Amino acid sequence: MREVHNLAAGMKEAIASIKKAAVDARSALDAEVGRAAGNVEKVRSVATDLKEANLEVESFLGETGSNFPSSGDSPMSAGHADINGVTVNPEAKK
């Protein structure tokens, strides 16, 4: 009879331990879900800032898509480019 009593007590302790572990796991999960939600908001904020910056840069660049003058306006466009696409300014000091 004592063995049955000891077995029952051991089972109660095991069940209590499992319940405590489940509560701890749930608390850890809830904490991580909360952190994830906070990080999502940070990413959304950064994405919004990046979108605004991109729009500002795009409006600065205008229709050309570049902040450099077109190649037709370049004083070096009269020269010939080498194999790497480099054009030497004929007026540059050697």
Query: What digits encode the pLDDT tens for the residues 14-57?
Result: 999 999 999 999 999 999 999 999 999 999 999 999 999 999 88
| Inside any domain, residue 59 | yes
Query: What digits encode the pLDDT tens for the residues 10-20?
Result: 999 999 999 99
Q: 57-66, long-range: CB within 8 Å, 24+ apart, which pairs?
A: none
Residue span of the structural domain in which 45 resides: 22-63
| Inside any domain, residue 41 | yes
CB atoms within 10 A of CB 87: 15
| Inside any domain, residue 55 | yes
Q: Compute the half-sphere exposure of residue 57: CA atoms within 13 Å on the CB side of its CA.
A: 9
If one counts the domains in the chain, the total is 1
